A and B are shown apart, each in its own frame.
Chain A
Amino acid sequence: MTVLTAENLCKTFGTTRALEDLSLSIEEGSFFGLLGPNGAGKSTFMNIVSGFLKQDSGSLALQGEELDPNNIEQKKLIGLSPQHIALYKELSAETNLKLFGKLYGLSGKKLSQQIEYALEVAQLSERRKSPVKDFSGGMKRRLNIAVALMHKPKILLCDEPTVGVDPQSRNAIFDTLLSLKEEGMTIVYSTHYMEEAERLCDQIAIIDVGKILRIGTLDTLLQELPKSNIIRARSASLDEANTTTFSKFGAVTQDGSSLELRTNEDFRLSSFFKWTEDQGLDATDFQIARPSLEDLFLHLTGKDLRE
């Protein structure tokens, strides 16, 4: 069942087109990724879905009903974890949760229960009384997500929730989000880290300059790439003669101290290993890599994801 549908969304800020005919649909219970570089329009999309911004044109439907920023019942279906740490930093974790919970219309026992739930999700039960300003970056990020879960939304919008977070906290956030997905929550996750999209998302939309370039599962997206492999070797492993014959397998580019070979379509792995044997090279000096979303983005836009 489709939970969120966007059709031809357009949004302009001054002369900058932030979204241009953006269309997508998100299935209930899925982990939907929006992958794109900074300024691609991911946050604009999130802000329109959350009701903060209004699109210039196009339509947005939640569970088949047009999304109205003034519709309180619809808002209760959505939880937003903004890109900023949108918390009152002088207040404790518990007080933040209490205030935002009340804004979601919670009170009394229900509010207390949800505070406990959110603190547990954020793994902050022990630090509930500490002011947010004393938290580490990862703790703040977790609480930032937990606030959006206070009312147990159907859809959780996570706008780059791991920016500035150490790997350990990042993994904790991933685990939290994956367990929420297990519980049936739909998660819309924006990121410019292709590793995160590859690891977490069922469906990925690649977005750049306000346009969706491709949407699909990781496998279907990667099938878009020309059938080729990437073989990397340390430059020092190959002499001039080796390098010349190495290039018969495909296009060779220098990448720092490595040589990167993007193989031809008729590439055969057996031929390659035979060549290493003939050249007296150690096959373990070569690394065969699977094409990634980074490659796909490069293929589609001609630029790097982190540009």
Chain B
Amino acid sequence: MRAILTLLQKDFILFFRDKTAIVLTFLVPFFVIYIVGNIFSGAGDNGGLSSNIKLAAYNESGDAAADTFIKALDLEESIELVSDAPGSDNTRVPFTRESIRQGIVDHHYNFALIIPKGYLKEDDIGLRLEFLSNPKNQIEAQIINGLIQKAVFTKLPQLLAGQLDEYQKEQMGDEKYNQFLDGLAALITLSYDDIEYDDVRERMGFAGLTELLSPSDATDGEDGEDQASAFFEGIIEFDEDQVFGKELKNPYLTRMIGGYAIMFLLFATTGSAASLFEERNDGIFLRILSMPAKRTHILWSKYLFNTLLGVTQAITLFIASSFLFNVEVFPNLPALFIVSIFASAACTAFGMLLASISKTPQQAQGFGTLLIISMSALGGAWFPLSMMGPTMQIIGKFTLVYWGVEAYLGALWEESGILALLPNLGVLAAIAAGLIAIAAWRFKTGDLFR
């Protein structure tokens, strides 16, 4: 027992001597809860969604009632409605069927709704909507599906009902239709003792009925919504067009694997950062620098080795996922290989930076954990960025995780060619260059070569 206490005391003494380790001990959990809290702090009202998901909407029918439906969608707090497309000279132009789909291909948004010409069924009561999607993030896709269904089932029925009233008036003529409703109201009033004719008459017709079933009626609440859903489920038809990832055999893993590959590369780089300290402590750097070699030679050799190692490991991970879980890797292998080079280069640069700013391997480990967790959460490796607040979304786009995940999704999920991936690869290259430049500067002035 005495030995255990003595050794325990030793660990505490060592711990309290490393001021950075103490700070990181408290900083890491603080950051984790800060990020997770930002994502889930709105749980309840919006099912955890604290920000907006972009949804493009195009009323091809030109119908005024359909416009009302689009306005109803715009009222949804969690939807950021996009109603036009970029034109020339920074102008905005109305959507066309082609441009709204192109917006998904060009990654302006991942979901779009088209209210087509003749959206009201001709042969039946009901309507037909077109839903275009790139469900590269499953959580986001599930949320937007839920939100659209909610909007459709709660708002559109009122519009549809109004149209049915108008339709009936057109078919029967105003007078006959009103006579029909007056008679029906009188019949109902006669059949029950405790109701007034005026109340019943007011609720007659499709509009009155849907008002009765509407969730906006405070007395009905969710029950009304459920009833409306049940009522209209059979009359609304969605034509779905999944723009990307439609034919994939394992869509769930295909979506997730890029994020995990990036996290894997990042954690591997913290190991490589620690190896730099080992060589320093063994006096290897001293020996090498006494030879015709420079610090930059050490830096670049380590950088190249770890980048190549990262590429090898990432490709192994993808190939294994292909054999074990049917992820469609081989058709996209050239693109995956290119993305892995850039992602690994950026992650390795991050590892080199860690080594250059840390004084001990423990500090590198601590900084690494803090930054990797933060970047993974903010960069969309765990949750879609749309679940975070606007500021966090902007910060997220400054992380290499975001661009790495996007590049891997581009290669695997969207099966994009190299050209389409160039913007993401360019950002990864810029991140790698920036990080390695800072690391090189720190190597010249920092502690690693003391």
Contacts and interface: CB of A to CB of B under 8 A. Distances in A.
B290 A75 contact: yes
Interface in A176-208: none
A85 interface: yes
Interface in A83-128: 83-89, 100, 103-105
Interface stretch (A44-52, A57-65, A287-295): A44-52
Interface string A136-161: 00000000000110000000010000
Contact of A52 (B281, B282, B289, B292): B289
B286 A85 contact: no
Contacts of B283: 82-86
A172 B284 CA distance: 24
B297 to A, nearest CB: 9
B287 A86 contact: yes
Interface in B268-286: 281-286
A51 B282 contact: no
Interface in B121-144: none
A82 B288 contact: no
B294 interface: yes
Contacts, number: 57
Contacts of A79: 290
B260 interface: no
Nearest to A153: B290
A51 B284 contact: no
A70 B285 CA distance: 15
Contacts of A88: 284
B293 interface: yes
A43 to B, nearest CB: 9
A84 B287 CA distance: 9
Interface string A212-254: 0000000000000000000000000000000000000000000
A72 interface: yes
A78 interface: yes
A148 B294 CA distance: 17
Contacts of A69: 289
A52 B286 contact: yes
Interface string B435-449: 000000000000001
Contacts of A105: 292
A51 B289 contact: yes
Contact of A103 (B282, B288, B450): B288
A76 interface: yes
A22 interface: no
A254 B287 CA distance: 46
Contact of A47 (B286, B288, B293): B286
A103 B293 contact: yes
Contact of A50 (B286, B294, B449): B286
A148 B284 CA distance: 12
A152 to B, nearest CB: 14
Of B281, B283, B291, B292, most buried by chain A (CB within 10 Å of CB) is B291
A80 B290 CA distance: 7
B293 to A, nearest CB: 6
A257 to B, nearest CB: 36
Nearest to B287: A86
Contacts of A85: 282-283
A13 B447 CA distance: 11
Given A84-B282, A85-B282, A86-B282, A147 B294 contact: no
Given A84-B282, A84-B283, A86-B282, A52 B291 contact: no
Contact of A100 (B289, B291, B294): B291
A47 B450 CA distance: 10
A76 B289 contact: no
Contacts of B289: 50-52, 69
Nearest to A102: B291
Nearest to B289: A52
Contacts of A51: 289-290
A88 B292 CA distance: 18
A157 B291 CA distance: 12
B294 A70 contact: yes
A75 B289 CA distance: 9
Contacts of B284: 86-88
A33 B283 CA distance: 22
A52 B284 CA distance: 11
Nearest to A104: B291
**Interface core residue of B285, B287, B289, B293 (most chain A CB under 10 Å):** B287
Contacts of A50: 286, 289-290
Of the listed residues A52, A70, A104, the one surrounded by the most CB atoms of chain B closer than 10 A to its CB is A52
A82 B287 contact: yes
B292 A104 contact: yes
B296 to A, nearest CB: 11
Contacts of A52: 285-286, 289-290, 449
Interface string B42-58: 00000000000000000
Contacts of A147: 287
B229 to A, nearest CB: 67
Nearest to B291: A103
A53 B285 CA distance: 11
B291 A84 contact: no
Contacts of A82: 283, 286-287, 290
Contacts of A78: 290
A103 B293 CA distance: 7
A103 B281 CA distance: 20
Contacts of B286: 47, 50, 52, 80, 82, 84, 86
Contacts of B290: 50-52, 75, 78-80, 82, 148, 157
Which of A72, A89, A103 has most chain B Cβ within 10 Å? A103
A76 B287 contact: no
A72 B288 CA distance: 12
Interface string B339-366: 0000000000000000000000000000
A6 B234 CA distance: 94
A70 B290 CA distance: 10
B287 A80 contact: yes
A69 B290 CA distance: 8
16 contacts: A50-B286, A50-B290, A52-B290, A52-B449, A69-B289, A72-B292, A75-B290, A75-B292, A76-B292, A82-B283, A84-B283, A84-B286, A89-B282, A103-B292, A105-B292, A157-B290
Interface of A: 13, 47, 50-53, 69-70, 72, 75-76, 78-80, 82-89, 100, 103-105, 147-148, 157
A-B CB proximity, top 3 nearest: A84-B283, A50-B290, A86-B283
Given A13-B450, A50-B289, 10 more contacts: A51-B290, A52-B289, A69-B289, A70-B294, A76-B292, A80-B286, A80-B287, A84-B281, A87-B284, A148-B290
